[in-house]
Structure 1
Amino acid sequence: MDSTATQEAPELAVRCLLDNVQGLVDALSCIRWKKQQDAICELSEHGMVITVEEWTCLQARVYFRKELFREYQYQAGVRPRFGVSLALLIDCLHTFTSSTGTTALELCYPGPDMQLLLKLIDANNSCINAEIRTRIPESIPREYIIDDEGNLPISFAVKSAALKEVIDDLEWPGSNITITLSPAPPGVSFRGEGHGDLQIDLPYDTQQDLFIAFQCNRHVSHRYKYKFLRATTSQIPNSILKDNRGSKVTIGSTGLLKVQHLISVRPTHAQQHHYMDPSQVHARVSYIEFYVMPDEDDNNEGTQ
């Protein structure tokens, strides 16, 4: 046989075992704000980052650190980056969530034709294999940085369910939402202007169980498109809302809005019993980040 006729398969850059597939499905579902979305997955020695962008107005990222995997083997010289359909990835992963047993899902990249390979053998020795076609990304996701111009970052943190409820209530006026933070009296207000006017005030009170944190030493006010603001909370699964670890909102000096959700990626009770290090169970927390640019027609004064 002519050896030149046989093309060798590329070496695996990443091989990892994931215990809680549902945790990854929930996290990816948070950043799926429309049916057809392209995602970019970047693999590194630190773990996996999946990014989705909407023009230059909205970006979302899911971070899965290597500590969240049962095993994480990385041997690439250059960080692999590939594009994939977000809907296809979620639907494919969802087929593995119904399997029973304690065997983890194996993820490998790249396959012979640069696919993402998934494999699971459950307690009944049933083997499920899947291959997801990937593509070469046309661009690199933009790196957003919250610039505070040397000042303390303006931020607040509340329970995730509370933040989602506030943003959902603002759907009626729609169009534009102005977020204002004030140090005196301390609090946050959301004002919607569109079909009507609606203002929701959240006064800061350390005695209430609403705020987890509040940091504001100057008045800040910026306006955002409602459809982009809504994308930061609209698809949070009930499992994350019930866990209620909290959501943090930070506003930069230019009005760039960052919304961060903490999610728990806990293995099942059976998985903990068989192979989990008890000291690591409570450390299995990942996070999701959204970046929203202010409205281009924003005529607010911003910081004062």
Structure 2
Amino acid sequence: MATDVEYSEHIPVLRDAFIDAIFSDPDGCYVDCTFGRGGHSRQLLARLSEKGRLLAFDRDPDAVAAGEELAQQDARFAIEHADFARLGEVLDARGWCQVTGIGFDLGVSSPQVDQAQRGFSFRQDGPLDMRMDTTQGQPLSRRLEHVSERELIDILRRFGDERYAQRIARAILKAMHDGALTTTSDLENACFHAVPKQARYGSTHPATRTFQALRIWVNDEMQQIDDGISAAVDHLQPGGRLAVISFHSGEDRRIRDLIEARVHACTCPPQMPVCVCGKKPTMRWLQKKPVRPDEGEVAANPRSRSSMLRVAQRLTDAEAVKLAGYAGGVH
């Protein structure tokens, strides 16, 4: 999926590393939680046997339509029009309680960005929408009508790490009040003129972080990550693998912390000499330090430059007991 730079050709980010991370059994059951246009799914299907199965999720109607075409061509594949926060619910309904590998490729896809009417891009004039699922929820224009300056500043800081959050928030709300904020170009213009002149012409456009933060807010992406990752861990079979690609530090920290809580399950205070909570680890890191694209991939696909891949594996019961024994002694 894409970052803040728009490219018309859809090239799966960290494709081989991602597939290698979750694939272990050609006869297994796999889940692609972010189908997009199917770049990762098609690569995974190429490795599966006739017994293998792949289920994909996407909340974008256009992505689902592309997935349904693939499902007609390959009986091993199916797609759900659902956000991955519903992963556990859907897998339970299908009886998929022991999944071999589950992958997430977070963010917004290139096809979404390339459609001006979706409102994701500040390089094309479009409506203030930014919904990944255009059949649900409120577009950005409606959300902004009910946000306070303090709330908007917090959104820009938390989801965009925006240095000039206060100046940009004030500029956005003033433009709304003046009736001058109706399109993505208006939003870009407000961001551009809100930052100091010396910050307007750097390597990153002044609107980049704001568009990212507002997209995350509109689509409730952080809660989606919380729910999706938790459900994924619970539905992996022993030895099953979880792979997650993220594109900015906020997402990556969230993913790291969610998995780390399953790797180090003990919740006893550090001063306790012996673990008394009894919580056992359920995961281990296969790749705790994020895998990043090499120079060749970045040159071929510049939008991959900020991507980070983390990989973890579900423990067997015996492994969990053994690791709990090590962790349950002296802290």
Given the two structures, how large is their TM-score scaled by the length of structure 1?
0.29
Q: Return the structure number with greater strand share.
A: 1
Q: Return the structure number with greater helix share.
A: 2
